[in-house]
Amino acid sequence: MNEFLRQFVMKTIFKMIDVVPEWQVREYALGWYTKGILTEEDLVKIEEMYNKPEEPEETGETVEENAADEEPSESEVEE
């Protein structure tokens, strides 16, 4: 029974993450942790959901294009 309840609570928490403020999600999770339903591993999973590294945005430019913008060409230096 506890495993079913743990899975249910974890699914609920993951659905709450984008909708409910972070502090409320953490408070809810800690409440279930103190009751012995969630484990420390579950809390780590929740923490990881909030600490996902943001992926850099694709601009469509390549590294070569950026380097060309930063360094003047030889013909520009001679002028």
Those residues whose C-beta lies under 8 Å from the C-beta of residue 13, and which sit 6 or more positions away, are: 25, 28, 29, 46
**pLDDT tens series, the chain, 79 aa:** 689 999 999 999 999 998 999 999 999 999 999 999 999 999 999 999 988 766 666 666 555 555 555 556 565 555 5
| Structure token pair of residue 40 | 């420390």
C-alpha angle with apex 68: 66 to 70, nearest 5 degrees? Answer: 75
In this prediction the pTM is 0.62
Per-domain residue ranges of the chain: 1-51
Contact between residue 42 and residue 8 where contact means Cβ atoms under 8 Å apart: no
The candidate with the shortest Cα–Cα distance to 30, out of 13, 5, 8, is 13
